[in-house]
Chain A
Amino acid sequence: AQSVTQLGSHVSVSEGALVLLRCNYSSSVPPYLFWYVQYPNQGLQLLLKYTTGATLVKGINGFEAEFKKSETSFHLTKPSAHMSDAAEYFCAVSGGTALIFGKGTTLSVSS
């Protein structure tokens, strides 16, 4: 069965610092992997996705993620945090027809 583990329920960074949100997955088949972002009182918005091909995936708002099969990881990074990046981030893996979501990581950005 597929599963997702997000390491760290809360990450705090300073504005301009590197953002690193960790995601490890378990899947018995080649996975499709996703990162979603949720701003307060809103639904989820797709940040980026990996299906096949290039393992380094670029998304919106300067985020990117790298699929590492050997490490079963799909960590999300951004070189320089901005105040507007403060939100909750969810990693997800394909499972059957639906997605399997991690429990989320709240990113706080301080000035």
Chain B
Amino acid sequence: DVKVTQSSRYLVKRTGEKVFLECVQDMDHENMFWYRQDPGLGLRLIYFSYDVKMKEKGDIPEGYSVSREKKERFSLILESASTNQTSMYLCASSLSPWAESSYEQYFGPGTRLTVT
């Protein structure tokens, strides 16, 4: 089974702090994604990566950056956390873009981030 892990389930940070959310997958997937989930808004794509050191902006990249130095690891960075970034953050991975099953995404358990 594919396993996607996230470094923390719950995180509390102060406004202005730099925050790192880590995600690791163990199935050699090419694609990795970061979403945020808010009540009534569903999942919104922040960034995704289709290869090491490659990244693409999603729908709401403002205030975030990402890093993918190794294939299995995809980090989300909040350069200066703000209260409106309080949310659930979900990481996902999927096979290479050229596989028919590439759209099937596997999700981690999520990190609930609170910025005070």
A residues lining the B interface (CB < 8 Å): 9, 32, 34, 36, 41-46, 49, 51, 90, 94, 97-99, 101-104
Contact = CB atoms under 8 A, between A and B. Distances in A.
A42 B108 CA distance: 8
Contacts of B90: 43-44
A41 B90 CA distance: 11
Interface of B: 4, 9, 31, 33, 35, 40-45, 48, 50, 56, 58, 90, 92, 97, 100-110, 112
Contacts of A98: 33, 45, 48, 58
A51 B104 CA distance: 10
Given A41-B112, A98-B45, 11 more contacts: A9-B40, A32-B103, A36-B107, A42-B110, A43-B4, A43-B109, A44-B43, A44-B105, A51-B101, A97-B97, A102-B42
Nearest to B33: A98
Nearest to A49: B104
Contact of A43 (B31, B44, B58, B107): B107
Nearest to A42: B109
Contacts, number: 53
A107 B40 CA distance: 14
Nearest to A104: B42
A34 B103 contact: yes
A44 B107 contact: yes
Given A32-B103, A46-B104, A103 B58 contact: no
Contact of B31 (A34, A42, A97, A102): A97
A102 B110 CA distance: 18
Contacts of B101: 51
Contacts of A41: 9, 109-110, 112
24 contacts: A34-B103, A36-B107, A41-B112, A42-B110, A43-B90, A43-B109, A43-B110, A44-B43, A44-B92, A44-B105, A46-B105, A49-B104, A90-B43, A97-B31, A97-B50, A97-B56, A98-B33, A98-B45, A98-B58, A99-B103, A101-B42, A101-B44, A102-B42, A103-B41
